[in-house]
Amino acid sequence: MSSITTRPATDDDVADLAPRLRQPDLDALAAAFPTLSAADALKLAKDRGECHVACLDGRLVGLFGITASPLRPTRGFPWFAMTAEALGSEATIADLLRLSARLVEDWQGRCPELVTMNDPRNAAYADWLKFLGFVAMGEAPTASGHPFTLHYREAPRAPSSSPLHPENS
């Protein structure tokens, strides 16, 4: 049985993980940040927000992060990048999905609007977003010109307390 733990990520974690990421994550980073190495792109994202390292039985296997919008404090941009080892078993994938769901719920408590982009070549990322309740909103441009898909997740609305509201009838 696997044991997934998290802690705040360090620059050393980013440097260790970057060359070991899955190829679809490396491709997405190259398309989104064509002038930066994978390590520099991840460090930039880490430094501009909150970033956690995922450890599988003590080994670093991935990063989860969120970057807040400088123009809209209610909007956050979650992201993740994983090694092949992180997605190596159904049990580990299930643990990572539960972990990411908790993180996204926490982030959404602080940033009600969550927006992210996915490289369509990265099926695992698309599946992750769907599991977390993100909705595809169309294409989004990137610096490299490679089209990404824009995804949005709005915080669930509290039911109305009005007796005339359909949820209360």
Strands 113-118 and 75-82: parallel
Q: What are phi and psi of 71, to 5 degrees?
A: -95, -25
CATH class (in words) of the domain with range 4-155 = alpha beta
Nearest-angstrom CA–CA distance, 69 and 49: 9
- The pTM (predicted TM-score) of the whole model is 0.82
User: What would the pLDDT profile of 115-169 be if each residue is shown by its tens digit?
Assistant: 999 999 898 889 989 999 999 999 988 878 889 999 999 877 655 554 554 454 4
Contacts of 133 (CB under 8 A, 6+ apart): 153
Tell me the CA distances in angstroms from 63 to 46, 74, 94, one per residue in order.
Answer: 9, 22, 16
User: What would the pLDDT profile of 6-61 be if each residue is shown by its tens digit?
Assistant: 999 999 999 999 999 999 999 999 998 999 999 999 999 999 889 999 999 889 99
Residues in the chain: 169
